[in-house]
């Protein structure tokens, strides 16, 4: 049986996903945050493909700085793949702290959302 906290987070994530869809022209930028790291994927939901990904594993600095670097990395990889704009999926996390830093890093590197 899942913990109440896990069920609540899953339901929040599902309600956000009902409203957000990524296409090949404007894919979804999905964020996953754990206690140790943060990662992001650019996903085409219509075809079910991950177009590019970046993670904070192996980076130094505090977690917020790592999140900003991950945002910059994902934007660079996405732009190299020909992706200019994305739909931001915060994955049920509040737009605050590391999630906000990742989004700002991606915007600074030229990704539009």
pLDDT band at 21 (very low <50, low <70, confident <90, very high): confident
Most confident of 18-22, 27-31, 45-49: 27-31
Q: Tell me the torsion sign for CA atoms 53, 58, 63, 66.
A: negative
User: Per-domain residue ranges for the chain?
Assistant: 4-108
Give domain 4-108's CATH architecture.
Answer: 2-Layer Sandwich (3.30)
- Tens digit of pLDDT for each residue in 37-72? 999 999 999 999 999 999 999 999 999 999 999 999
* pLDDT of res. 32: 96
User: Cβ–Cβ contacts within 10 Å for residue 27, how many?
Assistant: 27
Most confident of 9-13, 23-27, 65-69: 65-69
């Amino acid at each position: 049986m899942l913990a109440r906290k896990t069920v609540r987070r899953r339901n929040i994530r599902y309600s956000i996903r009902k409203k957000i869809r990524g296409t090949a022209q404007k894919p979804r930028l999905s964020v996953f945050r754990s206690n140790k790291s943060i990662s992001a994927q650019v996903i085409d939901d219509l075809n079910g493909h991950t177009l590019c990904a970046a993670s904070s594993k192996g980076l130094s600095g505090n977690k917020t700085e790592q999140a900003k670097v991950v945002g910059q990395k994902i934007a660079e990889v996405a732009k190299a793949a020909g992706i200019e704009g994305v739909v931001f999926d915060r994955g049920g996390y509040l737009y605050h702290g590391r999630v906000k830093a990742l989004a700002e890093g991606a915007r600074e590197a030229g990704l539009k959302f």
